[in-house]
Amino acid sequence: MEIIITKSYEEMSQLAAQMISRQLLKKPSSVLGLATGSTPVGTYKQLVRLHKEEGLDFSKVTTFNLDEYLDLAPSHDQSYRYFMDQNLFNHINVDARRVHVPYGHAENVEQFCEWYEAEMRRAGGIDLQILGIGGDGHIAFNEPGSSLGSRTRLKTLTKQTIEDNARFFKHEDEVPRFAITMGVGTIMEAKEIILLANGAKKADIIAEAIEGPITAQVSASVLQMHPHVTVLLDAEAGSKLKRADYYRWVFEEKKRLIPRMIGKMT
């Protein structure tokens, strides 16, 4: 795990966008795994800027989103499909036929989830997965107790997630109770993962997920087992890490001594 504590949300977002951009330059037909929520908004802004100002090309890219609320129409302004259109897809040259967001109105959810998994396999698997982290340690909507081997399926959201997400709805009662989500096992199959977190509210859970034991009670902790994860934090989200000084030192040393190793980030 490479842990990079940046100075600000802007710097974190810039680094994430640079890493995604490097991936697309290396492999224009990359398969990207995408997250919603407030955390990646800055990263998507940077990607839109890179597309508009520097011609970053998404024409051959395939995308798979992590999750979607059950029973929210794609046109609902709180659906994840709507979020992705507004924040990214409407502003880049991605081919709509290669964009995948779980369909919250699927009639047969189980069949839909099997199809979603099969589509990911057919696309060759996810090359680079972007993740945020919930206050309870969830990645996608894999709430505490989710099997570390779980696949795409229907999940009931925890009260904490419903409360956390109520800020986007007029009233807490409107927050859907269920979501279709990639599983922890699905996410772990991505070839490379970037976990993003910002703000003081994420500091405790980031410390647990990165420096605590691997447990199904904190889904993100399983990322410790993945061979290629970069955790990009702002200073607040990294403030409770016991080894913060060490992570900063590693990053600085790498920058100073082996520029070609971190070329992907500078």
By CB under 6 A, name the binding residues for ligand F6R: 35-39, 66-67, 132-134, 138-140
Tokens at residue 121, please?
């396999």
Least Å distance between CB 35 and ligand F6R?
4
Q: Which is nearer to ligand F6R, 48 or 262 (CB)?
A: 48
Q: Which is nearer to ligand F6R, 35 or 222 (CB)?
A: 35
**Is 143 known to be catalytic?**
yes
Q: Which is nearer to ligand F6R, 34 or 109 (CB)?
A: 34
**Is 67 known to be catalytic?**
yes
Q: Which of 160, 182, 155 is nearest to 70 (CA)?
A: 155
CA–CA dist 241, 235 (Å, integer): 10
Q: Which of 60, 15, 67, 21 is nearest to 42 (CA)?
A: 15
Spatial neighbors of 203 by CB under 8 A, at least 6 apart, are: 236, 237, 238, 239, 240
Least Å distance between CB 204 and ligand F6R?
14
**Is 71 known to be catalytic?**
no
Least Å distance between CB 24 and ligand F6R?
21
| The one catalytic residue among 68, 117, 127, 136 | 136
Contact 132, 206 (CB under 8 A): no
Give me the DSSP letters along 199-216.
SGGGHHHHHHHHHS--BT
| The one catalytic residue among 68, 127, 138, 164 | 138
Least Å distance between CB 130 and ligand F6R?
9
CA–CA dist 175, 134 (Å, integer): 15
The single residue listed with the structure tokens 């507004």 is: 86
Q: Which is nearer to ligand F6R, 105 or 255 (CB)?
A: 105
Helical H segments across the chain, by residue range: 9-26, 41-54, 80-87, 109-122, 159-165, 184-188, 203-211, 244-257
Query: Which strands form 229-233's sheet, in the order they lie side by side?
Result: 2-5, 229-233, 192-197, 128-131, 31-34, 62-65, 99-100
Least Å distance between CB 176 and ligand F6R?
13
The single residue listed with the structure tokens 């993740």 is: 131
Least Å distance between CB 132 and ligand F6R?
3
With CB atoms as reference, the residue minimizing the distance to ligand F6R is: 132
Q: Which is nearer to ligand F6R, 23 or 181 (CB)?
A: 181
**Backbone φ and ψ of 199, nearest 5°:** 90, 150
| The one catalytic residue among 68, 143, 164, 234 | 143
Q: Which is nearer to ligand F6R, 39 or 221 (CB)?
A: 39
Residues assigned a catalytic role? 67, 136, 138, 143
